Each structure stands twice: as C-alpha cells, then as structure tokens.
Amino acid sequence: MKNSQWIVVGLTGIATAVGVAYAAVQLKTAEPEINTSNNIISNPTQSQPLQPSISPSPKPTDTPSQIPNSVNTAKPDPIAVTPPKDGCKISTAVVADPNPPLNVRSSPQITDGNIIGQLKNGAFVGVTEEKNGWLKISEPEGWISKNRTKSTCPLVTQQISFPPKGDSAIVKGEIIGGGSHSYKLKVGAGQIMTVKKLNSVGVFPTIIDPKGQLLAGNPYTDGNRTEWTGELPLAGDYSLEMDSNFKGFVYEFLVEVK
C-alpha cells in the first residue's frame, strides 16, 4: 500500500473515533437525572415540573359545641298591662270635646233643630245606652257623640302572664265613674311579691290571696301605702284590685314576683 493510501485510512479512523466520542457525549447529556433525595426525575432538555404549592394549614374554627352561648339571657323589661276600653257596657263618661261645649241632641244624629242642651268639658254623665257611636245620657236626657267623651270599662278582670324569663309587669289604667278593676297573678307558695305604686296621684291596689284574705292595701286604713313586699303563703291566683264608687281615678303600679 502506498503512503498516500495509509494517510487516507488513518484520517478515516480518526474521523470515526471522533464521531463515536461525540455520539457518546450526546447520549450522556440526553439521559435524565435521578434525584435520589425525593425520587423526582428531571430532564435538562425539558422544562422542570411545577412543584405543588403547600398552603399553611387553616386555623381550626370553633365547633358549635365550642362557640360561647350568645343567646341574650338578660331579664326582659316589665310587660305593660292595660284594661280594655271597648267591648263592654259603659256606665259613666266624662266630656272631653276639642271644641266645647258638647251638644246634647234629641236623637243619635246631627240634624238641624235637634240640639236640646250643652255640656262643659269635665262634666260626668251617666250612660244608659250606646248606639252607632252615640251615648244616651240620663241628665239632661239625650244623645251625645261618644268620640267627644272619655270612658272606660267599669268592670275588668284580667290575668297577668309574664313572658319567658320575665317576672314583672307595669299595670296602668283608669276608672271613670264607678267600677272595679281586678288583675290576677298566678304564683307559687314561698315566692316573694313586690307591689310598688308608680303614679303619685294614683291609688295603691288591694292585695288579696287565693282564699280571699287581705294582705295589704286596705283603702280605709292603708290609704297612704306606696309599696308592699312579702312572702306569699299559698299557691294560686292573687288579686290586685281597685274599686271606685264615684268619679274614679287613675292607677299605675309595678308588680314583681321572684
């Protein structure tokens, strides 16, 4: 073989060796890396996979059994108790006309020529009949407009019922003319009841136990009383009563039972 042929063969071998080496390098760089710390396979020629974000653990919230009781446990205000003003037979009225004097008419209607008299404000009249918004009075005998008078039910019997968690009531009313207003309250033996007058010009009620015995508020011997507190000897309905024999009066008092 000639020298020139040896040279060609040598160059070909060198080129082949260089090619093999280059391919080996390329093959090595294409192999994925193995991270033995967390077993994640990564490839330099590919984008790195996104690591899942780990949010901090949420702060535990109170369970229903751990939530403090937010229900309002405060004692409610005293309930208001007033007597009815309608649905009863009126026996007495007092004149309260915004444009006095009040006309007394011969019939329960407004017509020319049927005025038979007049009444001043504050005059008390006895009522014998009621018809279509008119009151028939005895003196002078005739008819007057009811909405120009004040009147109350003469006979009232009303039960006091406390709301849940409640233990007190404010009773406020008026008797016009003669009449009797009675308020009943069911209580247990051994409970403490307090009755306190709130209106300086009103009256203090008569307090009667379930057997009809007077506990306090005798109008003849105890007229200046403004308050009473005592332990109740019996269970049952106790009565708080006001009686009027003439022109009547207003009343306002607090009753509390514990």
Q: What is the pLDDT of residue 111?
A: 95
Query: Beta strand 192-197 with 248-257: parallel, antiparallel or unpaired?
Result: antiparallel
Residue from 182, 257, 193, 203 nearest 230 by CA: 193
Q: Which two tokens stand for residue 231?
A: 């332990």
Give residue 123's pLDDT band: very low, low, confident or very high (50, 70, 90): very high
Residue indicated by tokens 């009444």: 119
Q: What whole-number distance in Å separates Cα of residue 168 and Cα of residue 154?
A: 25
Q: What whole-number distance in Å separates Cα of residue 247 and Cα of residue 151?
A: 11
Q: Which two tokens stand for residue 46?
A: 């590919």
Residue from 203, 202, 254, 199 nearest 229 by CA: 254
Q: One-letter amino acid identity for 69?
A: N
3-state secondary structure the chain: CCHHHHHHHHHHHHHHHHHHHHHHHHHHHHCCEEECCCCEEECCCCCCCCCCCCCCCCCCCCCCCCCCCCCCCCCCCCEEECCCCCCCCCCEEEECCCCCCEEEECCCCCCCCCEEEEECCCCEEEEEEEECCEEEEECCEEEEEHHHEEECCCEEEEEECCCCCCCEEEEEEEEECCEEEEEEEEECCCCEEEEEECCCCCCCCEEECCCCCEEECCCCCCCCCCEEEEECCCCEEEEEEEEECCCEEEEEEEEEEC
Q: State pLDDT tens for residues 45-96.
A: 444 555 555 555 555 554 444 545 545 567 889 999 999 988 899 999 999 9
> Is the pLDDT confidence value at 244 over 80?
yes
Q: State pLDDT tens for residues 3-55.
A: 444 444 444 454 444 444 444 444 444 444 444 444 444 444 444 555 555 55
Residue from 172, 176, 129 nearest 151 by CA: 176
Residue 53: phi, psi to the nearest 5? -75, 140
Q: What is the pLDDT of residue 31?
A: 43
Cis, bond preceding 101 (omega within 30 deg of 0): yes
Residue indicated by tokens 């003319």: 177
Give residue 222's pLDDT band: very low, low, confident or very high (50, 70, 90): confident
pTM: 0.68
Q: How many CA atoms lie within 13 A of 95 on its CB side?
A: 19
Residue from 124, 133, 129, 128 nearest 95 by CA: 124
Averaged pLDDT for residues 135-159: 96
